[in-house]
Structures are given as structure tokens and as C-alpha cells.
Amino acid sequence: QVQLVESGGGSAQAGGSLRLSCAASGYRYPSPCMGWFRQAPGKEREGVAAFVNDKSSYADSVKGRFTISKDNARNTLYLQMNSLKPEDTAMYYCAAGCLRLSVGPLEEARYNSWGQGTQVTVTS
């Protein structure tokens, strides 16, 4: 059974940094499709960054500030978040598993497994 466990969330001041981790278990091999999504209160969940077949993708709102990386040996996905802004405040979710290959890497429908989320709060 696939399990994704996020960690590293918390509070930061604007301009600060946080690093999120997502530990994946239950995969025989590292999933070639993994990504980070976020959902702010009152808003829909949106794709933030993703790795699909070792190619990274980013939402325009985080380009140049966030970096996605992974450690295949540890089956762990990371999201380094720098220059944080109050609008980055959200619950951040890890996603994995290649489901619908016809949709983009930052689309929810691309993935079939989700973590429980970790809260990120950025204060001004």
C-alpha cells in the first residue's frame, strides 16, 4: 500500500525559507511522477511543482523561488521554498503515482496517491 508522509511545514516570516519533505513507501521503484500541491483557505488545490520522468515543472507563482528535488535512494521528494510570501500560506500536499498521462504534471488528475498535507504559514 502506497503511503506519502509530508513533513517540514511550519511558520516563517516573509522572505524566509522552509523545506518540505515527502517520504514515499509502498513503491517497489521510485514513482516517475511526483509533485507538490497546495490549497489555501477558500481556494482550490493548485499544482506547485512536479517531477515527471525527471523533468521538473513549476507554477508561475513559484518559479525562481521554489526548487523541487528528490532522493531516489530514500524515495523522498523535497520542496525547498525560498523568498516566501504571505500568499504562499497553504496546506501543502505531496502527490505521486502516474495516473492520467494525458494531463499536465501540475494537474491533480495526474496522480493517484496523496499525502495528508503539511501546513505552511508565512507572516508579513
pLDDT digits (tens, 9 = 90+) for 111-124: 999 999 999 999 99
Query: 106-116 burial, b for 16+ CB within 10 Å, e for fewer?
Result: bbbebbebbbe
Average pLDDT value for the chain = 94
Q: What is the pLDDT of residue 53?
A: 86
Cell of 95: 502527490
| Percent of the chain residues past pLDDT 90, beyond the cut | 85
pLDDT single digits (tens) 25-47: 888 777 889 999 999 999 999 99
Half-sphere exposure of 106 (CA within 13 A, CB side): 14
Judged against a pLDDT cut of 90, whether residue 99 lies above it is answered with: no
Q: What is the pLDDT of residue 54?
A: 87
| Percent of the chain residues past pLDDT 70, beyond the cut | 100
Q: What is the pLDDT of residue 80?
A: 98
Cell of 22: 515527502
**Is 24 in a helix, a strand, or coil?**
strand
Q: What is the pLDDT of residue 75?
A: 92
Q: What is the pLDDT of residue 1?
A: 83
pLDDT band at 60; cut points 50, 70, 90 = very high
